[in-house]
């Protein structure tokens, strides 16, 4: 089985060829981040225009690199939400045109399911499992009783974890998106500011990051007014300590209370070194027997390989779409 997968939900244009749901034959990712950096965030109209320019090139590259002809393919998969409507529509139009021209079934894929199934490109999944989904727009704990079944058991009540990294990074003068650089700075500093750990002791699996963001911003502004200079490294380390404490404490508690075999960490923030190290250290101690799967860095951020992995499950269930498939910018899991 060979699936051609297309991803264009935000600011990465990506096309991949995936064999049997787990083997990457190609995974072309064209990032537009340089065009958005001067605006401090993704500009939807700019993103759509870049997707239009990149999508055909990525598609040709993906087939070429995989050494696959259109007639070898089993299906075409595409992200139809959540994401920016204009960006999603470019990928959807390209996938439809390709599927129609080559008489292939079209498989609609949820971008967040894709992030989770990035783990399938590393190891076979065993159910039930728990996924900690941490990305630019989402922070959720997802219970999966089986392939393709999603139950959100907790989520952020305000900002997503990645969003908090990006907003706080901006205060430190880092360029967008600042998660990676903030993570690196954090490793050079110490938790000297002791920011709050919101909701850490509450008996639920929800999160909140906007209070932490405000505490951070107020501290920096007050220091600036007094002409004090705070250590960027210690600020980064203190912020990261709060985020990682809360994410790992609640995730580990969920693993203790739900009958899971694996913990999957997914989404752009799964690239966070602090979070990866903490879970690798604590999970075996606190919940022995639960296997941790964290995709390699290149599969944490947006890419089409993960869409192809998720599509494999949908294809097995014959969840195909007709050619009137539309973008669903606010699509939820489950």
Which burial class, exposed, middle or buried, applies to 172 when counting CB atoms under 10 A from its CB (0-12, 13-18, 19+)? middle
Q: C-alpha angle with apex 268: 240 to 130, nearest 5 degrees?
A: 90
Q: At closest approach, how far in Å is the CB of 92 from ligand ATP?
A: 16
What does R_g of the chain's alpha carbons equal in angstroms?
20
Task: Show Cβ contacts of residue 294 under 8 Å, excluding neighbours closer than 6 positions.
Answer: 119, 264, 265, 270, 276, 279, 280, 300
What is the rounded CA–CA span in Å between residue 130 and residue 142? 6
Instruction: Provide, rounded to whole angstroms, the least separation between the CB of residue 143 and Mg ion.
Output: 26
- Taking contact as CB under 5 A, which single stretch among the options 106-114, 241-249, 297-305, 309-317 is the one that binds Mg ion? 297-305
Give bridge partners of residue 19 from the DSSP assignment.
2, 23
CB of 137 to Fe ion, least distance (A): 7
Q: Is 82 in the site for ligand ATP (CB under 6 A)?
A: yes
The first and second tokens of residue 199, run together, are: 């909701």
Nearer to Fe ion among residue 303 and residue 320 (C-beta)? 303
Find out whether 257 is annotated in a ligand binding site: no
Closest distance of CB 71 from ligand ATP, Å:
32
136 binds ligand ATP (CB under 6 A): yes
Tokens of 46: 């700019």
- Which helix (H) or strand (E) segment holds residue 130: the answer is strand 129-134
Q: Which residue from 159, 166, 302, 314 is in contact with Fe ion, where contact means CB under 5 A?
A: 302
Query: Is beta strand 12-19 parallel, antiparallel or unpaired with respect to 23-31?
Result: antiparallel
* Residue with smaller CB distance to Fe ion, 283 or 299: 299
Looking at 32-40, 162-170, 213-221, 280-288, which segment touches ligand ATP (CB under 6 A)?
Answer: 162-170
Beta bridge partners of 30: 13
Near Fe ion in 122-151, by CB under 5 A: 135
Q: Is 138 annotated as a binding residue?
A: no
Residue 137 assigned as binding residue: yes
Which residues contact ligand ATP (rule: CB under 6 A)?
10, 82-83, 111, 115, 135-138, 162, 165-166, 177-180, 183, 267-269, 271-272, 301-302
Applying CB under 5 A, which residues contact Mg ion?
10-11, 302
Question: Which residues are documented as binding site for substrate?
Answer: 133-137, 166, 179, 183, 272
């Amino acid at each position: 089985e060979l699936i051609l997968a297309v991803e264009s939900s935000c600011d990465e244009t990506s096309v991949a060829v995936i064999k049997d749901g787990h083997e990457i034959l190609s995974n072309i990712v064209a990032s537009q981040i340089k065009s958005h950096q001067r605006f401090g965030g993704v500009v939807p109209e700019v993103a759509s225009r870049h997707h239009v320019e990149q999508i055909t090139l990525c598609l040709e590259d993906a087939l070429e690199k995989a050494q696959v002809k259109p007639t070898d393919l089993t299906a075409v998969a595409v992200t139809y939400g959540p994401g920016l409507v204009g960006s999603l529509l470019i990928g959807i139009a390209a996938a439809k045109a390709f599927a129609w021209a080559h008489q292939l079934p079209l498989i609609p894929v949820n971008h967040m399911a894709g992030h989770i199934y990035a783990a399938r490109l590393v190891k076979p999944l065993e159910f039930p499992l728990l996924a900690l989904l941490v990305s630019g727009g989402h922070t959720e704990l997802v219970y999966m009783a089986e392939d393709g079944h999603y139950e959100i058991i907790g989520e952020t009540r305000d900002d997503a974890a990645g969003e908090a990294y990006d907003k706080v990074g901006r205060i430190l003068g880092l360029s967008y998106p600042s998660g990676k650089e903030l993570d690196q700075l954090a490793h050079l500093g110490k938790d000297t500011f002791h920011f709050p750990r919101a909701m850490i002791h509450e008996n639920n699996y929800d999160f909140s990051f906007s209070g932490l963001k405000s505490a951070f911003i107020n501290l920096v502004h007050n220091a600036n007014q007094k002409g004090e200079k705070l250590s960027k490294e210690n600020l980064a380390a203190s912020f990261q300590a709060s985020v990682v404490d809360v994410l790992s404490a609640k995730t580990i508690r969920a693993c203790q209370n739900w009958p899971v075999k694996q913990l999957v960490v997914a989404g752009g923030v799964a690239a966070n070194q602090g979070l990866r190290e903490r879970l690798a250290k604590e999970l075996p101690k606190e919940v022995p027997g639960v296997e941790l799967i964290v995709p390699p860095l290149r599969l944490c951020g947006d890419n089409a390989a993960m869409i192809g992995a998720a599509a494999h499950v949908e294809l097995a269930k014959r969840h195909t779409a007709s050619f009137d498939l539309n973008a669903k910018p606010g699509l939820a899991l489950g």
